Amino acid sequence: MTAAIELIGITKRFPGVIANDNVNLTVQRGEIHAICGENGAGKSTLMKMLYGMQSPDEGRMLIDGEEVRLSSPSDAIERGIGMVHQHFMLADQLTVLENVILGSEPTKGMGRIDFKAARSHFAEVGESYGLTIDPDDLVETLEVGERQRVEIIKVLFRGAQILILDEPTAVLVPQEVEELFRNMRDLKENGATILFIDHKLQEVLEIADSITVLRQGKTIATVDPKDVTAGDLAELMVGSELPTPETTDSTVTDEVALFVDGVTVLDDDDRPVVDDVSLSIRRGEIVGIAGVEGNGQHELVSAIIGTMDPKAGTVSLNGDDIAHWSVRERREAGVAYVPQDRHVEGLLLNAPLWENAALGHQTEAPYSKGIWIDRPGSRGKTETIRKSYDVRTPNVDVSAHALSGGNQQKLILGREITSDPKLLIASHPTRGIDVGAQAAVWDHLRRARADGLATLLISADRDELIGLSDTIVVMFHGKLVATLDPADVTPRVLGAYMTGAVLDDKAAS
């Protein structure tokens, strides 16, 4: 039987790195096929080539037995391939319908959009797959799960028979993941072939018919989920056991470093996006905040670091209420910050590394002396950070954008921790970096904790949260809804709090 997809010898190179190295992949029609690998293994690049967003340097692609050359998404779409991206490709200010029909608008004469035809086709697609969304809603009003459904409708609207899902569960909680898997099985029944990227091994084992593992751009193996365990997959992905962040002896002291009391932050419409939140972090403790993105974690962090002003409440750092201090004052008082998006809030991409190391600390030695910037001092300090945090770069004059994500993150972590802070806010500290850098980051965080640092950790990676935190709190709709002990929390319970489900006594025990 002709396979739906056959990739033979696909190779793709970028300056300095081989993203895909002689990759071979076969997907049967009507199959749910998972692609696994850690960050940087080449999964996204491979899928992008299948969707026409990149072209392979070598190799052949066959769709339904026919060799194809896809030079743009339109080619892929014409072949019945549709892609749901990890970061949704939706325009907030346009309606759902506009987002869905874009690029394949039904028209009638003079390029006029035939809205009637569009709506009826939209309704058809929605009905056959049980995906209900109002086409006239503005996308910005939709929740995450709904947005994903729009993305799927977008793909089905064009009659895609082959669906590519890139890390679809990254933004979903367990209950929503189940919903997604139900949809996927329905689609499969209707004849679709599904390719999806996922690095959460339990999920992959649950839903996939077939799994292909990539590592460092090469195909390592294609296996049947019935024959393997998560541990086997992990080994294939990394070549050894996946490092897990393990807790060692408790280093928590009695001294409270950060005390957040009744903090409320309002959004532009005067609605509370952080609602009366209180928590405390002691020296030597890591407190982890769990929660689906968009439930107030970022705003809480902003209130603590000073980029947002709380409407009510106090934020005490070693006794001083810093709630209305400027960012600079807080930094000088010892608040360190690893932002969730290093490109947006963490780095000056076009500036050399040593200036990036000074960012956030430029008012203090060794980065400045009086009103002047201390160049030798800054460069020296940056060299120190480079060595102790293993930042791979030819020198400290290179612009920050030239470094890989992992090295950028190590630099940021290094500059923050070596500034001798009283409090470290680490927001998604290992997002989008390779496993080696991830392990290094965890190591540094643990060591800092052992040295007595108080850390606030925000993470979407449940393993990271559970492995690193001494205490876990859950945020939902701006409120702190639970305080949990990582030693006895289960993903199910955590997920329930994260989605605001009322926890049944029976389920808890």
Q: Looking only at residues 69 through 128 of this chain, which bind other proteins when binding is defined by CB under 8 A?
A: 72-77, 83, 85, 89-95, 98-99, 101-105, 107, 110-113, 115
In the chain, the amino acid numbered 487 is A
Distances (CA, A) of 145 to 22, 259, 313: 36, 34, 32
140-179 residues in contact with other proteins (CB under 8 A) are 154
Shortest distance (Å) from residue 16 CB to other proteins: 2
Q: Which is nearer to other proteins, 89 or 507 (CB)?
A: 89
Q: Which of 190, 326, 483, 490 touches other proteins (CB under 8 A)?
A: 326
Query: Quick check: 146 and 178 in contact, CB under 8 A?
Result: no
**Pairing outcome for strands 479-484 and 423-427:** unpaired
How many residues interact with other proteins (rule CB under 8 A)?
81
Distance set, CA 421 to CA 379, 416, 448, 453 (Å): 20, 7, 10, 7
Instruction: Closer to other proteins by CB, 48 or 282: give it.
Output: 48
Distance CA 247, CA 322 (A): 31
User: Residue from 311, 392, 447, 492 that binds other proteins (CB under 8 A)?
Assistant: 392
Which residue lies nearer to other proteins by CB, 53 or 205?
A: 53
Q: Which is nearer to other proteins, 248 or 350 (CB)?
A: 350
Question: Residue 363: how many CB atoms within 10 A of its CB?
Answer: 12
Nearer to other proteins by Cβ, of 91 and 503: the residue is 91
Nearer to other proteins, 405 or 491 (CB): 405
Q: Three-class SS string for 418-446?
A: CCCCCEEEEECCCCCCCHHHHHHHHHHHH
The β-bridge partners of 263 are 277
Whole-number Å distance between alpha carbons of 478 and 274: 4
Nearest approach in angstroms of CB 115 to other proteins is 7
Q: Are 417 and 384 in contact (CB under 8 A)?
A: no
Task: Give the nearest distance from C-beta 509 to other proteins in angstroms.
Answer: 37
Question: Dihedrals φ, ψ of 415, to 5°?
Answer: -65, -35
331-370 mask for other proteins (x: CB under 8 A)? xx----x-x----xxxxxxxx---x--xxxxxx----x--
Name the minimum Å distance from CB 381 to other proteins.
14
Which one of 167, 235, 293, 463 is in contact with other proteins (CB under 8 A)? 235
Which of 227, 241, 246, 249 contacts other proteins by CB under 8 A?
241
Whole-angstrom distance, CA of residue 478 vs CA of residue 492: 21
Q: Of 170, 373, 439, 460, which lies in the binding site for other proteins, with binding defined by CB under 8 A?
A: 373
Binder of other proteins out of 189, 226, 240, 271 (CB under 8 A) = 240
Torsions phi, psi of 210, nearest 5? -155, 145
Residue 286 structure tokens:
């890591």
List 3, 53, 131, 252, residue binding other proteins (CB under 8 A): 53
Per-residue burial over 175-185, b = 16 or more CB atoms within 10 Å of its CB, e = otherwise: ebbeebbebbe
Applying the rule CB under 8 A, the residues between 246 and 305 that interact with other proteins are 305
Among 127, 136, 224, 321, binds other proteins (CB under 8 A): 136
* 400-429 residues near other proteins, rule: CB under 8 A: 401-404, 407
* Residue given tokens 């930094």 in the structure block: 331
Contact stretch for other proteins (CB under 8 A) within 122-130, 242-250, 311-319, 391-399 = 391-399
Q: Which residues pair with 316 in a beta bridge?
A: 259, 321
Extract the runs of DSSP E, i.e. beta strands, from 16-101.
17-27, 32-36, 58-63, 66-68, 81-84
Residue that the structure tokens 């996308």 belong to: 139
| 156 vs 140: CA distance, rounded Å | 21
Least distance CB 17 / other proteins (angstroms): 6
Q: Is 230 in the site for other proteins (CB under 8 A)?
A: no
CB 252 within 8 A of CB 258: no
Task: Select from 57-65, 197-205, 371-379, 475-483 the region that touches other proteins (CB under 8 A).
Answer: 371-379
What part of residues 430-489 is at the interface with other proteins (CB under 8 A)? none
Q: How far is the CB of 18 from other proteins (least distance, A)?
A: 11
- Which residue's CB is nearer to other proteins, number 108 or number 182? 108
Query: In the 8-state DSSP scheme, what is residue 138?
Result: B
56-64, 126-134, 399-407, 466-474 -> range binding other proteins (CB under 8 A) = 399-407
- What's the CA gap between 86 and 196, in Å, rounded? 11
